Amino acid sequence: MKFSYKVLIFFLAVMMIISCSKDNTPVPPDTSNNLIYFYDRKENGNLQVYSYDGTVEKNLVNDATYDYWWIKVSPDKTKFLCYRSPKNAGLNSYTVSDLMVFNIDGSNGHVIVAKGTYGWELQAHAKWSPDGTQILGTAKCKDPLINDMVSRGRLVVFNADGTSPKIISKFLYDLADPAWSPDGKNVTYVGLSDLNDPTNTEKAEIFQATLNPVTQLMENQVRLTFDDKYCYDPCWSPDGEWIAYSKGAFINLIFTQDHDIYKCKPDGSADVLVLHDGKVNGVPTWTPDGNRLLFHVIGYFTPPPFSLYSCSANGNDKKEILATTGVERTTVSAILK
């Protein structure tokens, strides 16, 4: 395998089709009514965009010709990003996806970065800057400015309308899963701890770097995690004090167990287990007040595939947001009502 980012995508795809049912202890419902959740929902084969106000689910995008996924609400709560790919391409179909923006009610959807634009062989992990003027993401592409004509997973920043892209990672190896710090001064991402073993996903670790405000290039890398497990999907807390992420040995994906939620300090001074319950808990994100984490849980029976849950920032008080039999929901985020 010559492209380690491709391996990360492969393992993430594997995660999307497995279940975890080691601990079937009943989980109480999340009765919080001060949030509106945004997520992709799959029913009858199609991924579409939904919101949930704690009482009623609302279909925001309903287009049977495409899948819509990876929903990210803008900081001003007026819009959301999502990827669009051909029907049945499904989650993580990065090589065939367009990046879109919709109004928060699902209207006025339009493509801002079409498939193949800028010579990108895939695009992934788009997230708003804290002020909503830019988007951070991953692109598989070449970088002629450093005379690197090998396609790699690179971190890119572009305007909120999809224009003026810039590669911010000037490295000769692959990166993935970027996330802004709340002040926009730092970027967290997934990289490999051993460049001599680039196809070993167990070497995927969380890193952090400053983003030079003048050059918009990453500088001063700091490695935050040190283990032999696959670390992925970092997300900063609103106060910038913690970075939540998922972690688990790849072998545990095969045995459908123990992909846990952790949080680490941005300076690498702490790495704390938040939630271990035997299940595959993925793509954590913080509530706006930073008190809880939202995530999806993978299972086939208890819960059904890709159900939405929350827990406190310390990992206790796990609650079910939505877990309807036969309906898949993923990549949840939330805003205050």
Q: Give me the torsion for CA of 272, 274, 280, 286, rounded to 10°.
A: -110
- DSSP three-state, residue 206: strand
Helix (H) or strand (E) holding 188: strand 186-192
The mean per-residue pLDDT over the stretch 233-246 comes to 97
Asked whether residue 16 carries a pLDDT value surpassing 50, the answer given is no
Helix (H) or strand (E) holding 155: strand 148-159
Query: Is residue 321 within 8 Å of residue 30, measured between CB atoms?
Result: yes
Can you tell me the distance from the alpha carbon of 276 to that of 234, in angstroms, rounded to the nearest whole number? 17
For the segment 243-272, what is each residue's pLDDT rounded down to a tens digit?
Answer: 999 998 876 656 666 789 999 999 989 999
CATH superfamily of 4-29+115-332: TolB, C-terminal domain (2.120.10.30)
For the segment 51-97, what is each residue's pLDDT rounded down to a tens digit?
Answer: 999 999 999 999 999 999 999 999 999 999 999 999 999 888 999 99
pLDDT band at 304 (very low <50, low <70, confident <90, very high): low
For the segment 116-158, what is each residue's pLDDT rounded down to a tens digit?
Answer: 999 999 999 999 999 999 999 999 999 999 999 999 999 999 9
Name the pTM for this structure.
Answer: 0.89
* Helix and strand totals (H; E) in the chain: 2, 24
- Beta strands per DSSP E along 257-306: 260-264, 271-275, 280-286, 292-298
Strand-pair partners of 38? 51, 333
pLDDT band at 193 (very low <50, low <70, confident <90, very high): confident
